[in-house]
Amino acid sequence: MQEPLSYFGPHGTSLYTSRGIEPAYSLRFTWTGWPTAGSLPALPSLNLVKPLWENDGLRLLEQTASPKEAKLLFSTLPEVSAVRVAQRAKGRLQYFLRNASKAFRGFSKKIALRSIGENTREQVERYIDGQVGNARFVDPSFEALLRKFTICCPEVDLTQPSESARGRYWYNLHLVLVVAERGPIRDPKCLARIRDGCFAIAQKKDHRIAMLSVMPDHLHMALRGNIEHSPQEIALAFQNNLAYLLGQVPIWRPGFYAGTFSEYDMGAIRAHVRRS
């Protein structure tokens, strides 16, 4: 299929924008930094830095440190990209520690950023894979048809990070779009266009879909996001591009769900904090 060439409404504006949307989200990231040389000073209270991070769309939840590394856990707003989280976490903490300790020379250029949530990658992928079976359709033939629109891509390994000159990023998102109130989509051609369109859009935007389930009234994706794009940007790109592919029809509700996940869950983070 051809990639969509235009993503705008009939008057040159996108059907879906950041205005008026009502996203649901659960977005958390751990940031890890290492000193360029020597040992890391003990992390003092970061109460002076927290308001600055909150202005950036980051809320500090936990902090741990050793002489070898600093680790911060943030919750974030959906308009904040993975790169932005890494930049603001490092920049503000580095400035604060340099003012607090003349011996501290700064953090290494390379950091690690990992998405994390209440569920693990295996749980998210299993949940998406089970959408058709859990719906318990009365018509077995329709259920069999829908199974064609649940796609697993084993070549996309979400356990592996995206590498960049700035570090390693595990940026895994569970994205959900819901069909507008006009009713469920049951036309197989339309469902196929959504399924195939998701992969075309992901390729164009440099996302990688590991698991996709297109249902009559919603769709689920587990994907590795482009680290430059925020969860909100990713969701809006899929909403606008898919609407364009279906004839520029506002098929989605003006909102989305975006959640982060990883190989381990928040329980592992809480246990680590208790041990520290």
Q: Does one domain contain both 95 and 136? A: no
Residues 98 and 124 in one domain: no
Looking at the fold, whether 271 and 215 belong to one and the same domain comes out as no
- Domain assignment present for residue 167? The answer is yes
- Whether the per-residue pLDDT at 87 is higher than 50: the answer is yes
* Residue 264: pLDDT over 90: no
Name the band, by pLDDT with cuts 50, 70 and 90, for residue 4: very low
Q: How much is the mean pLDDT over the chain? A: 90
Q: Which domain holds residue 60?
A: 26-116+266-275
Is 11 a domain residue?
no
- pLDDT tier at 270 (50, 70, 90 boundaries)? low
Q: Please tell me whether residues 270 and 146 are part of one structural domain.
A: no
pLDDT of residue 99: 87
pLDDT exceeds cutoff 80 at 45: yes
Q: Which segment of 37-41, 214-218, 256-260 scores lowest on mean pLDDT? A: 37-41
- Residue 41 is assigned to a structural domain of this protein: yes
Q: Is the pLDDT of residue 52 over 50?
A: yes
Per-residue pLDDT tens digits for 202-255: 999 999 999 999 999 999 999 999 999 999 999 999 999 999 999 888 999 999
Q: Report whether pLDDT(91) > 90.
A: yes
Output the pTM of the full model.
0.91
φ, ψ of residue 94 in degrees (nearest 5): -60, -45
Residues 98, 155 within the same domain: no
pLDDT digits (tens, 9 = 90+) for 135-187: 888 889 999 999 999 999 999 999 999 998 889 999 999 999 999 976 789 99
Do 174 and 98 belong to one domain? no
